[in-house]
């Protein structure tokens, strides 16, 4: 249900141009990539009797891990941001949330995640290599 629902929502909100619709479109796009594209290498491995297939390449493993965690965390951050903005709109109905604040928090969180990944990967903080059991 998630994939068709996200696609329908993406097409609906993409046509509208107000700020909330843009945020919903970004959330749907991030969720689409998380649900539709990230599992493809895992499915390829499962179909091939759990052989590493593309996971045999260490660079792919590192890149795939970074993208997977980035998209998952970004999805949670965007939904949280939207929830906070809606809560503020309900509690303070005449307060207008600045778009610049939302964009700045989005950019700051993205930079924070990039720095975090840059610090984790070189120091072996994540074991990102597929190990096939014989």
Q: What is the pLDDT of residue 124?
A: 56
Retrieve residue 92's tokens.
Answer: 């303070």
Q: What is the pLDDT of residues 12-36, one digit of tens each?
A: 888 888 888 888 888 888 888 888 8
Q: What is the pLDDT of residue 17?
A: 80
Rounded Cα distance between 66 and 82, Å, is 24
CA dihedral 80, 82, 85, 86 (to 10 degrees): -110
Residue 70 in contact with residue 113, Cβ under 8 Å? Answer: yes
Model confidence at 71: pLDDT above 80: yes
């Amino acid at each position: 249900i998630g994939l068709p629902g996200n696609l329908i929502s993406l097409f609906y909100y993409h046509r509208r141009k107000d700020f909330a619709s843009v945020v919903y479109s970004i959330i749907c796009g991030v969720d689409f990539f998380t649900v539709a594209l990230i599992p493809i290498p895992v499915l390829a491995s499962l179909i091939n009797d759990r052989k590493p297939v593309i996971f045999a390449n260490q660079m792919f493993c590192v890149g795939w891990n970074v993208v997977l965690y980035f998209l998952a965390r970004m999805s949670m951050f965007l939904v949280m941001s939207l929830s906070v903005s809606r809560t503020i709109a309900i509690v303070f109905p005449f307060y207008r949330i600045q778009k610049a604040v939302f964009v700045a928090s989005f950019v700051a969180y993205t930079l924070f995640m990039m720095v975090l990944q840059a610090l984790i990967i070189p120091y072996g903080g994540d074991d990102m290599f597929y190990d096939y059991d014989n």
